[in-house]
Amino acid sequence: MDIDWNAELLDQLEWHWDNQLRPRLDGLTDDEYFWQPVSDCWTLTRRAESTAPMPLGAGDFTMDYAPPPYDREPVTTIAWRLAHLIAVLGPPDAFHFDQPWTGHGQHVIDYAGTAETALRQLDEGHDAWVRDVRNLGTAGLIQPQGKLSPPQYADVPMARLVMHIHREVIHHGAEICLLRDLYLRKDD
């Protein structure tokens, strides 16, 4: 049996996106976006107000960050998790599969100060990612990552990178949905 692995990978992401994640994000408010379920959450802050050891981002808002190891794993806001997904999917004009690896792309992203803008960035990044994965085709999935990724992944097939990004969207998306559920019940 011939299997179109490119279609299978895209179906996995698209089913999750269309049926679980994206509908759950509709109506996200700025209050939810920045809500901190515990003190000292990593979030997005105005550049001049950030106290993070290594704030990431190119615009008015930066994403809190510090290199591991951590004393405790940080708890993050919906804003932070959406920013992470936006960085993982890449901006809509990114060439996902033909640029040499330069480290974290999170330094060059103009992170959103509102939920509405973040959701637009997420949608645009998702659409660009899907377009570029589709253009890889099955043959592109078996090609080595080469200079696209850190040296330890240079000989690993592109399919592994695609699967990694899809796992990121699925698990961080689930965390965002849980944070929304907790926000809605925070005064119960």
Q: pLDDT tens digits for 139-178?
A: 999 999 888 888 888 899 999 999 999 999 999 999 999 9
The Cα-based distances of 133 to 79, 136, 141, 159 in angstroms read: 26, 5, 9, 9
Helix axis angle, 115-141 relative to 5-16, nearest 10°? 160
Q: What are the φ and ψ backbone dihedral angles of 121, each rounded to 5 degrees? A: -60, -40
pLDDT of residue 92: 72
User: What confidence score (pLDDT) does residue 100 get?
Assistant: 64
Question: Residue 57: what residue type?
Answer: G
The predicted pLDDT at position 101 comes to 59
pLDDT at 107: 57
Q: What pLDDT shows up at residue 167?
A: 96
Q: How far is CA 3 from CA 54, 167, 186, in A?
A: 44, 21, 46
Strands, E assignment, 26-164: 44-46, 61-63
The pLDDT score that the predictor gives to residue 134 is 95
The number of residues in the chain equals: 188
Q: Please tell me the pTM assigned to this model.
A: 0.92
- Nearest Cα neighbor of 134 from 19, 8, 22, 21 is 8
The whole-angstrom separation of Cα 62 and Cα 105 is 13
- Looking at residue 91, what is its pLDDT? 75
SS3 for 28?
Answer: coil
Predicted local distance difference test score (pLDDT) of residue 93: 73
CA 185, chain centre distance (Å): 25
Say what the pLDDT of residue 110 is: 92
pLDDT at 103: 55
Q: Which residues of the chain have pLDDT under 50?
A: none
Cα within 13 Å of Cα(97), Cβ side: 23
Among 127, 98, 125, residue whose Cα is nearest residue 110: 125
